Amino acid sequence: MAQPNVLILRAPGTTCDAETAFAFEQAGAKAELVHINRLLEHPDLFSRSQILCIPGGFSYGDDVAAGRILANQIQHHLAEHLAQFKAAGKLILGICNGFQVLIRSGILLEPDAQNGPPATLTVNDSGKFEDRWVRLEVRGAKCVFLSGIDAMYLPVAHAEGKFVARDADVLDRLESAGQLVLRYRPLSEDAGGGNSDAVPYPDNPNGSVAGTAGLCDATGRVLGMMPHPERHIDPTHHPRWTRGEAGEVGDGLKVFTNAVEYFA
Amino acid sequence: MLWEVDIYPAEGQPDLVAGQVARESADLGLAGDLAVTSARGYLIQAALDRRQVERIARELLADRVVEKTVVAAVGDEALSTPPEQDRRLVHVLPKPGVMDPVAQSALTAIADLEIEVEAVGTLKKYWIGRLSDEQFELLASKVLANDAVERVIVGPLDFDHLEVGSPYDFELVTVPIGQLDDEALQKLSFEGQLFLSLTEMQTIRDHFQSLGRDPTDVELETIAQTWSEHCSHKTLAGRIHYRDPDGERTFQNMRREPIFATTVKIREEAGEADWCVSVFEDNAGIVRFDDEYNIVFKVETHNHPSALEPYGGANTGIGGVIRDPMGTGMGAKPVANTDVFCFAPPDTPLDQLPPGVLHPRRVMRGVVAGVRDYGNRMGIPTVNGALYFDPRYLGNPLVYCGNIGLIPRDKSFKQAKPGDLIVGVGGRTGRDGIHGATFSSAELTSQSETVSGGAVQIGNAITEKMLLDVLLVARDRGLYNAVTDCGAGGFSSAVGEMGEQIGAEVNLDRITLKYEGISYTEMWISEAQERMTLAVPPERWDELNELCTSEGVEATVIGRFVPTGRLVLKYNDHKVADLTMDFLHGGRPPVVRDAVYTPAPIEPQPLPEKYTWDYTNELMQVLGSLNVASKQWVIRQYDHEVQGGSAIKPLVGAANDGPGDAAVLRPVLQSRRGIVVACGMNPCYGDLDTYHMAASAIDEAVRNCVAVGADPARIAILDNFCWGNTDRAETLGSLVRAALACHNVAAALGTPFISGKDSLNNEFRPEGADEPISIPPSLLISAMGQIDDVGRSVTMDLKEPGNYLYQIGTTKDEMGGSHFALVQSLTGGQVPTVDAKLAKRTFAALHKTIDAGLVRACHDLSEGGLAVAAAEMAFAGNLGLRVFLAQVPHEIELDDESIAEARHLAESIADEELHPLAGCARATAVLLFSESNTRFLCEVHPDNADAFEAALADVPHALVGEVADTGRLEIIGIPRPIPDEETDQPVEIGAPLVVEAELATLKETWQKPLAW
């Protein structure tokens, strides 16, 4: 199997780079941490990787808005290179702050000239940062990263993760295109259930519209997600492993192995 | 031209900031349903037209999906048109000189749009509904803005350009001190915020007289910083004459003798197996972790800044302590944060608030947010902490912040060399944080906010994260010989410390500044955050500079270590200071203090005398008391899982919400080895006896670690003494007594202290009051344990019906200072004591059983005793529990009355054998709620019971209950004869149900008080 190279993009304030690199390595990839300044100097660094990952953190302190400044840099200096990267059939993963960057830079959803960005991630309804575990339903038939996954149990840790679409049309379009690939589900499986999207707080931790926790682009090769798959790759990551509830490996590992196996 | 961009929530989007203001207004008792509209805004000073500014707003500043903007030139009516009738406009802006990181980022990002602007500022804008003038003012000063760092402008903005500072004109200032008499010296010390004692001022005067000149202002300031209590810890490092009923002792150095000496002895006894690496020397204590790494731990306090500006104070408190491990050895990588806070009760009535004091709710919200924002942004998990409440923390809250770091074994020591360049790296120097070190050594008053506002630093975590990223690379490439952080005293302390054995020459004009107009003295003593000092060999400078530049971190050569034994400061060509290191570090006159301890007599404690009375309500009261109640509201705001090593989280159990005893994490992802983090503190006990308070805190910190599986032979501890004014002999006496307990208990347990810190003068003097309010003696013990394999950790939640429950350790009649006494307003009683030899045996034996996999759940008994621990285990595991008090191991002494009552009862039931406690009226409350130390509850599978009991043969233990699928906690009291209802004659032995409660009710009671 060919071992893909992963470019883990660092910026001032990136915090989850090391453990995300570790997760990719556990999955069999070769991970390289690259600072945004290096990429701005040498955009051809993209060419030696098959996977780009923008990990979690607080790029540029989340000043102005979460992910905004890094997204702005990408938009104005790297857009072309990223378009080529995508066109070459490569994979892009944004986790938490990385998701915020992907959505704000237009990589995930193309803005239209008239109305601007189709969707955003904004301040949680609770008004505060929260670290808690969520149950996710995967409706990810088209997303490379989520292939073969039905459900995941992962932690979220963010203050600005509420997904909001510009209007009902955008939401319908994303839904029918199968791009709303990750949905918050009730924590206790007997509660609610069915296909209702109205999952209340805290099971939907931020008030996201349609319980959206993750989103892929039209090709299924770009995924942005608020929950942290790299924080559930080891059985002892599971908050109830001492109760015998953890599996052999954590639910999140498959996100990374899917990416690696895509290049097998 | 000055443009303003106001950003409001779009139609249909919640105004979360307005909601928060309305809530806090209600907290202040101003208006229950205050109408508020909020906006965030930017001021852009540039020669631009409206179209360009609108583009900046649209593409960069606002989120078009959920926000709308108003763009206009400052002064335009569009900016002051109220959204609704009857609203008053308030702007809140950072004071000139206060750091504004968002504005900085916006400035850089605007450049990415290829638009040129001169300066950017930020503001917050509020439209406030109907309030009286007085209420409006209160809201503005208590909720909307903080005077220490922000200014309020009511109505339209009254300026048309952003202040960028004016250039500084050099002028050498000397302080004529030679002729000053005692009174004038004291005045100079106070008004110059030097906060030095008269003897110290006299010593300085005499020193400069012998040199035949007056000191410059920067010389005087340098001495004051170096000699401050905060930097030199002169009280505890000084000579103390101590008296108690056992006799008199003189300590040459309080910290070295009782506390540090214990560690030395433990290390000697360990011999080859010594696992301490560097203790009480560097910025943090260092111990061995595995073959490759050592781990370091430091806990600091940031009390006075947090009293004035809770957010900024706590923010820089955690930011500062993170730099301690970063500045330990050649620099450690921070892997975990801890935080412990002490506040006044959040329901303190507003009319009891003295002038100058912030409401405890506001303090608590601000402190939590400050730690949250810095810790989370640094990417360091905050894994352990505690909250304590007492009215005496009203004017002087306590904010303890800790950090654990991981360092390669061969990077654990440093040494600056003559000829090394002195390099400042990280943030720029501003006017923030002037006099922090000296200010923290003074009593707080209602005037502190005005006088010492400049002492509050403003943090920017991202600058520190960037600094950390390059520091670790530079360390591994060997680009410097030594590193230390710029903490209290700024460059003055950092350079002074590093160059103490060598000598240093610094060119102050080279220090990079946030803005112009800063004097050379301010540059030298500023405590601006996110700065560290490196000793760099000249041939390494280019590589270091290139590395820093590549990630946007500023590094500047500001001087050189020179083998002169002198500290020389220059500003351009002017020499502004020339001090010998000898005088600076050795010239301080020794502080000699008296300390007295007079034990308070143990007063009897009138416990309720109830045999069959139901204690369920009392249990609910304790569970719902602030110290015991769930801290979930705080914990969830901290990222406790970043870095990917979390193995036991702060909240555990079936619904991820039970109170774990300690956190466990893997700092090296390739390894199974874990760090265990816990703490212990009991301010309630200190009022009765600080010796037992300290002993109990150590026991609690260690047993919390042991409860999750830490090896008791590898637990290191830290002390943080926060006390009142130790100029009073009794106050110092109570501290010395606590330190003696630290010595005795740590020695007996073989648990070394590896670092420590004290913060004295924690007092607040309300306006017009003769006596200051002193905090209760508050000793925090932080513990860092280790576990071979995190997969062997256990949690406190019950796991399976049918399992046995054991109590390990003995319950004594130790209800003094207990939470039962607190909620029942009982005074007196015996405070919990520690039998350290037995504790050592108990910890070792219990650890073996956990390590062998015999224990399914383990919880320590602390606040609220057995009843609270049992309740917590049950609701965390969502499993019922039955506990039998008759089986609990105890040493309750029987008085004559109890013996007589027992005899009487025995006679009435001729055949039956009575429980020894059947005649003891207070026994039930004691068994339920006593807070005796060294006790645990363990859940064990029946198949493992024999092995478990065998392993614990040498320590007190007993089977006390069983896990049951009932959804209820049931505690069964001591059996005794039950009187026949008609005849009132005892007829048969019965055991009363003393606690009976549904798990859901217990949990709700426990979660409610702090579910904000």
Structure token digits, residue A99:
């998701």
Cβ–Cβ below 8 Å for A63 and B102: yes
Give CA–CA dist B737/B654, Å, rounded: 43
For residue A72, give the nearest of B112, B372, B653 by CB distance: B112
Chain A nearest CA to B951, separation (Å): 22
Give CA–CA dist B918/B632, Å, rounded: 40
Question: What is the pLDDT, as a whole number, of residue B910?
Answer: 66
Helix (H) or strand (E) holding B929, with range, is helix B923-929
Candidates B91, B233, B302, B890; catalytic one: B302
The phi and psi torsions of B884 (rounded to 5 degrees) equal -110, 110
Write the single-letter amino acid at B556: T
For residue B641, give the nearest of A23, A115, A155 by CB distance: A155
Taking Cα atoms as reference points, which of B296, B304, B348 lies closest to residue B323? B296
CA of B642: how far to CAs of A56, A156, B245, B376, B663, in Å? 9, 10, 51, 8, 14
Helix (H) or strand (E) holding B424, with range, is strand B421-426
State the pTM of this model.
0.95
Give CA–CA dist B213/B576, Å, rounded: 13
For residue A63, give the nearest of B59, B66, B101 by CB distance: B101
Cβ–Cβ below 8 Å for A116 and B64: yes
The phi and psi torsions of B796 (rounded to 5 degrees) equal -90, -5
Give CA–CA dist B882/B872, Å, rounded: 13
Question: What is the pLDDT, as a whole number, of residue B143?
Answer: 85
Q: What percent of chain A clears pLDDT 90, i.e. is strictly above it?
A: 89
Candidates B91, B161, B207, B230; catalytic one: B230
In chain A, which among 194-223 make CB contacts under 8 A with chain B? none
For residue A122, give the nearest of B63, B646, B669 by CB distance: B63
Give CA–CA dist B652/B655, Å, rounded: 7
Write the single-letter amino acid at A188: S
For residue A61, give the nearest of B105, B641, B653 by CB distance: B105
Chain A nearest CA to B194, separation (Å): 35
Cβ–Cβ below 8 Å for A16 and B642: yes
Chain B nearest CA to A72, separation (Å): 7
Q: Among B636, B651, B673, B878, which would you mutate to test the A interface (most chain A Cβ atoms within 10 Å of its Cβ)?
A: B636
Chain A nearest CA to B547, separation (Å): 12
The alpha carbons of chain B give a radius of gyration, in whole angstroms, of 30
Taking Cα atoms as reference points, which of B733, B775, B780, B776 lies closest to residue B756? B780
* 3-state percent helix, strand, coil for chain B, nearest multiple of 5: 35, 25, 40
Structure token digits, residue A65:
């808005």
B230 a catalytic residue:
yes
Structure token digits, residue B625:
């008391």
Candidates A16, A53, A96, A216; catalytic one: A96
Write the single-letter amino acid at A1: M
Chain B nearest CA to A5, separation (Å): 20
Structure token digits, residue B554:
């500023």
Interface confidence: ipTM more than 0.90: yes
Taking Cα atoms as reference points, which of B746, B854, B802 lies closest to residue B262? B746
Please list the residues that pair with B3 across neighbouring strands. B44, B73
A232 a catalytic residue:
no
Residue B328 makes CB contacts below 8 A (sequence gap 6+) with: B278, B282, B283, B284, B286, B296, B298, B405, B407, B412
Per-residue pLDDT reduced to its tens digit, A7-66: 999 999 999 999 999 999 999 999 999 999 999 999 999 999 999 999 999 999 999 999
Give CA–CA dist B182/B184, Å, rounded: 5
Candidates A16, A216, A228, A232; catalytic one: A228
The residue assigned the tokens 């699928």 is: B965
DSSP three-state, residue A116: strand
For residue A19, give the nearest of B19, B102, B643 by CB distance: B643
Please list the residues that pair with B753 across neighbouring strands. B717
- 10 Å Cβ neighbour count for B164? 13
Chain B nearest CA to A95, separation (Å): 13
The phi and psi torsions of B421 (rounded to 5 degrees) equal -80, 145
Write the single-letter amino acid at B457: Q
Contacts of A62 in chain B (CB under 8 A): 377
A230 a catalytic residue:
yes
Contacts of A122 in chain B (CB under 8 A): 13, 63, 65-66
Q: Specify the number of domains making up chain A.
A: 1
Per-residue pLDDT reduced to its tens digit, B74-107: 999 999 998 888 899 999 998 876 778 899 899 9
DSSP conformation class of B273: G
**CATH code, A186:** 3.40.50.880
Q: Among B63, B64, B803, which would you mutate to test the A interface (most chain A Cβ atoms within 10 Å of its Cβ)?
A: B63
Give the angle subtended at the CA of B929 by the CAs of B923 and B930, to the nearest 5°: 75
Taking Cα atoms as reference points, which of A130, A4, A1 lies closest to residue B651? A130
Helix (H) or strand (E) holding A94, with range, is strand A91-95
Closest alpha carbon within chain A to B789: A236
DSSP three-state, residue B907: helix
Cβ–Cβ below 8 Å for B795 and A242: yes
Contacts of B106 in chain A (CB under 8 A): 63-64
Contacts of B66 in chain A (CB under 8 A): 120, 122, 164
C-alpha B709: how far from chain center = 24
DSSP conformation class of B795: B
Question: What is the pLDDT, as a whole number, of residue B908?
Answer: 76
Domain, as residue range, for A156: 5-261
Structural contact between residues B646 and B665, judged by C-beta atoms closer than 8 angstroms? yes
Question: What is the pLDDT, as a whole number, of residue B422?
Answer: 97
pLDDT under 70: residue ranges of chain B: 97, 148, 164-165, 433, 435-457, 608-612, 910-912, 986
Cβ–Cβ below 8 Å for A37 and B550: yes
The residue assigned the tokens 């994979």 is: A91
Q: How many residues does chain A have?
A: 264
Structural contact between residues B140 and B97, judged by C-beta atoms closer than 8 angstroms? no
Q: What is the DSSP string of A16-64?
A: SHHHHHHHHHHTT-EEEEEEHHHHHH-GGGGGG-SEEEE-SB-GGGG-S
Q: What is the DSSP string of B481-531?
A: SEEEE--TTHHHHHHHHHTTTT-EEEEGGGS-BSSS---HHHHHH---SSE
For residue A157, give the nearest of B105, B642, B794 by CB distance: B642
- 10 Å Cβ neighbour count for B350? 13
Please list the residues that pair with B596 across neighbouring strands. B243
* 3-state percent helix, strand, coil for chain A, nearest multiple of 5: 35, 25, 45
The residue assigned the tokens 């150095």 is: B253
Give CA–CA dist B618/B921, Å, rounded: 16
Q: What is the DSSP string of B770-784?
A: SSPEEPPPEEEEEEE
DSSP conformation class of B350: G
In chain A, which among 159-198 make CB contacts under 8 A with chain B? 164-166
The residue assigned the tokens 């069915």 is: A194
Closest alpha carbon within chain B to A205: B636
Contacts of A164 in chain B (CB under 8 A): 13, 65-66
Task: Give the CA count within 13 Å in the CB-facing half-sphere of B254.
Answer: 33
C-alpha B894: how far from chain center = 42
Taking Cα atoms as reference points, which of B652, B617, B632 lies closest to residue B1007? B632
Q: Tell me if chain B has a CB within 8 Å of the CB of A25.
A: no
Structural contact between residues B581 and B499, judged by C-beta atoms closer than 8 angstroms? yes
Q: How many residues does chain B have?
A: 1012
The alpha carbons of chain A give a radius of gyration, in whole angstroms, of 17
Give CA–CA dist A7/A36, Å, rounded: 11
Cβ–Cβ below 8 Å for A240 and B461: no
DSSP three-state, residue B1006: helix
Q: Tell me if chain B has a CB within 8 Å of the CB of A245.
A: no
Where in B866-935 does DSSP place strands (E)? Answer: 880-884
